[in-house]
Structure 1
Amino acid sequence: MKFFIAFACLLALAVANEDAGVLRSEQEVNVDNFKYALELDNSVNVHQTGELHGEEWIVKGDQAWKSPEGEPVSIQYVADANGYQVLSANPPLPTPPPIPEAIQRALEWIAAHPSKE
C-alpha cells in the first residue's frame, strides 16, 4: 500500500516537471487514516485518502492535470485488497487486446481440470 501512496506523490511530481507554485498543500496523517491534497498553479490537482479497515488499507484518490497540448487529463482510482483499480480516466484507458484463442482454451482447460492437491 505504501507503493500506491508513493506512486501518487511521484506522479504529481513528474507531471509538475516545471517550476510550479503551490496553491494548496494539505496533509493529515493518523494511525488509521490519512488525507493528502496538492494543488499547483500549473493545473496539477491531486487528492488521496486512506482508511485502515482491520488489517487492510483502502486508498482512494484522483489526479488531474493538463497535457502539454492543453488537454485535460484525469484519473480516479481505488487501491485495496483487490489491488490498484482505475475507476475512471479521461482520456479513457485503451482497451486491452483480446486473449489469444490458444491461451483462452488453455485457461478453460485448467478451470475444468483443477489440481487435486
Structure 2
Amino acid sequence: MVLGALVSASTAQLLYPLPYAVPAPLAVAVPFIGAFSSQFHAQDELGQFTFATAGDNQARTEVKTLDGVVRGAYSYVDPTSKLISVNYVADANGYRVVGANNLPEAPAVPSVAGPEPVQDTPEVSQA
C-alpha cells in the first residue's frame, strides 16, 4: 500500500514545464493623494459666529462679532503652486481687503511735462 502511494505521488508531478510564462506582477509607483478636510462652526444667540473650513488645497475662516463686523481670511494654492492668502474685513465701510499676497502692482507712472498754460490774447490783457 505504501508502494502504491509512492508510485501515484511520483506520477502526479509535472514532467515538463508549462508552455507559457506567468508575467511578473506589475509594480507602479502611484503617489498617494489623500483627501483632507475639516470644518467647524459655532454661533450664539446674539448672532456672533465663527467658522473655518479646510480641504482640497484651500482654507477659509470667518468671525462675526457683536458689533456686526466680520473678519476673515481665505487661502488657496493657485495653478502655479503658489499659496495665495487674503485677509478681509466687512463692516459699515463695506468689504475691504486688509492684506493679501496676490494684489497686482500698479505700473510706474512716467513723469511727463504738462501742457503750456494758455496765453491771454492782447484784447483780454487790455481789458
With the shorter chain as reference, the TM-score category is 0.5 to 0.7
CA–CA separation in structure 1 for the residues paired with 2:83 and 2:60: 14
Q: For residue 60 of structure 1, what is the aligned residue in structure 2?
A: 71
Q: For residue 87 of structure 1, what is the aligned residue in structure 2?
A: 98
Displacement of 1:22? 4.8
- 1:65–1:79 CA distance, 2 compared to 1 (3 A): same
1:34 paired to 2:49 = yes
Unaligned runs of 5+ in 2: 1-33, 110-127
Q: Are the aligned partners of 1:22 and 1:38 in contact in 2 as well (CA < 8 Å)?
A: no
CA–CA separation in structure 2 for the residues paired with 1:49 and 1:22: 23
Q: For residue 10 of structure 1, what is the aligned residue in structure 2?
A: none
1:44 paired to 2:58 = yes
Unaligned runs of 5+ in 1: 1-19, 99-117
| Two-structure CA RMSD over aligned residues (Å) | 2.3
Letter in 2 for 1:36: F
Structure 1 runs of 4+ off > 2 angstroms? 20-23, 92-95
Greater strand share, structure number: 1
Letter in 2 for 1:38: T
Equivalent pairs counted in the alignment come to: 74
CA–CA separation in structure 2 for the residues paired with 1:61 and 1:90: 15
Give the TM-score normalised by the residue count of structure 1: 0.55
Displacement of 1:89? 0.9
Q: For residue 39 of structure 2, what is the aligned residue in structure 1?
A: 25
Letter in 2 for 1:48: E
Greater helix share, structure number: 1
CA–CA separation in structure 1 for the residues paired with 2:76 and 2:100: 12
Give the TM-score normalised by the residue count of structure 2: 0.51
CA–CA separation in structure 1 for the residues paired with 2:35 and 2:73: 20
Map 1:96-115 to 2 at 5 A: none
Displacement of 1:90? 1.2
Aligned residues with identical type, % of pairs: 25
